[in-house]
Copies of this chain bind each other. A is one copy, B any other.
Amino acid sequence: MPEQSLSRRNFLWAVGATGGAGTMFAAMGALGLAPTAVAASRFQPPSASDFHLQGRAAGSVVILGGGVAGLISAYELGKAGYRVTVLEPRDRTGGRVLTVRGGDELTDLRGFHQRAAFRRGQYMNAGAARLAQWMVTLDYCRELRVPIEVFTNANADAYMHLRPMPAGQPVRYRTAKADTYGYMSELLAKATDQGALDAELTADDKEILTGFLTDFGDLGDRYEYNGSTRRGFTTWPGEVGVPGVARADVPSVSDVIASGVGWYFSFENGFDQAMPMFQPVGGMDMLPRALTRAIGAERVKLGCRVTALTQAATGVTVTYSDAAGRSRSLTADYAIATMPPQLLVKLTHNLGADVVAALSAAQPVSAGKLGLEYRSRWWETDHRIYGGITWTDTEITQIWHPSYDYLGERGVLIGYYQFGETADRYAAMPPKERETTAVGLGERIYGAKYRTELASSFSVPWSQVPHVEGAWHHLSGHSPQSPVFTPLAEPAGRVFFAGDWLSNMPSWQHGAILSARKAVTLLHGRALAAR
C-alpha cells in the first residue's frame, strides 16, 4: 500500500494523495463496488444540430470561475451555440494553471506584494506543471494547436540529499538507484540461491530469476553487489587513456537501507507520474490562453467577483462586482459553478443544505512553489543536469531544473515545492525570507553558485492567493463517488458544478476537464429535455 509510505515522507503524502485515492477507487472498480466505468473518450460534445433538429435555440449559461473547468465548460458549450459568460475574479484566466513571467504581480491575502523580475522568455509554472500521456488535457492541446515538449520528471543526474545518508553528502539519483537495486538484487538472489523461496518458486523460476537479478543489480561473483557503472563516473569514459573512473564510494547495504533513499524510486513508476511527462511550450498557461481565445475574450469577464447565486424556476441570477467595483447582476438559463468549493459555499445562495454539506466536505490543501531565476545555467554547465527533480528531506522537499531553454543563458529553477504545514510556514514568511531560507538549504546541495548566481525570485503560496485559497482539496475521507457528492455530481436544478476536486483526479487538469465535460453533458441533456 502506498499509504504506508505516505506517512513516512512528507513529499509523498501530498503528491501521493492522488495516487492513493486512485488506488482505492480503482480497487473498488475492479471489485465491482464502484459505478461501472465509462471510457473518457465516449464524451459526445453538445452540438448546435441537437437544437436545430428540435427547431429550437441553445440557451444561456453563466460560468463562475475561469480556471480550466470553467474554460472547458464555456468552450464546449460555445461550440454548440450556447451563449456563455465566464465570470473570473482575477485578472487572468487559468486559475491554478498559472505561469509567472516578468512583470506579473501577486498581492497575497497577507498583503505580501511581489512583482516578478524574470527576464523575457523565462517563466515558472507556479501551479499545474506536467501532463501524462493518457490525460485528456493533451487532446485539447492537439485540438487548439498548443505545442508540447517533454517535462523531465526524473533525472538520473539530479541529486538526492537525505540527512541519514553516509557523510551527509548529496548523491546522484543514478548512484542511489544503482545501490538500491544492486543490494535488493543481491539479497534476493542469495535468498533464492540458498533455497529460502523454494515454497514460492520452481527450479526453473529460480534459475531464470537469479540470472535476471544478476543483470538487474549488475552483480558480481556469488551474487555480490560491488558497485556498477550505472552509479556514474568521477571521470567519464573518453579518449584512449581515459577509460573512465567509476564512482568508488559504494556504501554498505545497511547504509543504503538506513538512508531511506529507496522510498523515492516509486514516484517515477506512479500511474500519474511515470515518464515521459509533457508541458506546453512556453508555459502551462498556453492552454487556458488558447481556450480563452477560442471561447472569445468578450465572453470572459475578468475582475468580476461573484457574491450571490440564486436559482429560480426559470433561470439563475448571479450578482457580482465588476472590474470597476460596480455591483451587477446577470440572469441565465443555467449556471456552472467552478469556484473553489470553500469559497463557493460562502456566497449568498439558495442551493440548499445538501449542496452546502457536499461543498463543505472538500477542504483545501496548502502547497507552495518558489521560482529562482539565475544569471547562468550553472546546473547544466557545472553539474550537467538538464531538467528533472532533485529530492531532499529538508523542508524545500524538491528542486526542479527547468525543462525548457536548455543551453540558454539564464534559467528559472523551482527552489521548493512543498506541502501542508511546511507550505503554511513558508507562506507566513515575507517573500524575501522564503527566498533566503530556501537558497540556504539549496546551497548545501549545489554549492555557492546557488546563492551567488541568483538574479531574482517569485513565490506562490497557494493558500494565500486571492480567489483561490488552496492548492487542491481533500474530500474529508469521502470517495468522489460518495452519495455526499451526488447533489454536485448529479444536480437537480439549474446549477451545475465542476472542478478537479469533483473528480477522481484531484489537482490535475485531467480531472477538471472531465468534471467539466460531465457538467456540460448533464446541462445539455437538461436543456434539450426542457420545454
Contact = CB atoms under 8 A, between A and B. Distances in A.
A295 interface: no
Interface string A495-529: 00000001111000011001101100000000000
A242 B194 contact: no
Contacts of A215: 2, 4-5, 262-263, 266
Given A40-B236, A202-B254, A384 B133 contact: yes
A30 B202 CA distance: 39
A205 interface: yes
A386 B133 contact: yes
A274 interface: yes
Contacts of A254: 201-202, 204-205
A299 interface: no
A481 B240 contact: yes
A26 B266 CA distance: 29
Contact of A29 (B22, B200, B245, B384): B245
A112 interface: no
B197 A191 contact: yes
A141 B242 contact: no
A194 B187 CA distance: 13
A318 to B, nearest CB: 24
A378 interface: no
A238 B278 contact: no
A8 to B, nearest CB: 7
A246 B504 contact: no
A258 B37 contact: no
Contact of A246 (B26, B197, B515): B26
A106 interface: no
Contacts of A204: 254, 258
Interface in A155-194: 155-157, 174, 177-178, 181, 184, 187-188, 190-192, 194
Contacts of A149: 149-150, 406
Interface size class of A (residues with CB under 8 A): 35 or more
A66 interface: no
A269 B174 contact: yes
Contact of A22 (B19, B244, B248): B244
Interface stretch (A52-60, A225-233, A339-347): A225-233
A230 B188 contact: no
Interface in A137-161: 138, 141-142, 145, 147-150, 152, 154-157
B406 A278 contact: yes
Contacts of A177: 269
Interface stretch (A84-92, A206-214, A304-312): A206-214
Nearest to A24: B243
A257 interface: yes
Nearest to A38: B242
Nearest to A148: B406
B157 A229 contact: no
A257 B206 CA distance: 9
Given A38-B242, A239-B503, 11 more contacts: A4-B215, A22-B243, A30-B246, A30-B248, A37-B234, A134-B233, A145-B407, A190-B197, A190-B200, A212-B257, A229-B271
27 contacts: A1-B219, A1-B220, A2-B215, A26-B243, A29-B235, A30-B248, A38-B238, A40-B238, A142-B381, A177-B269, A187-B188, A187-B197, A187-B209, A191-B196, A194-B196, A201-B253, A205-B257, A216-B266, A229-B271, A239-B517, A240-B503, A240-B504, A240-B515, A241-B489, A243-B504, A278-B386, A278-B406
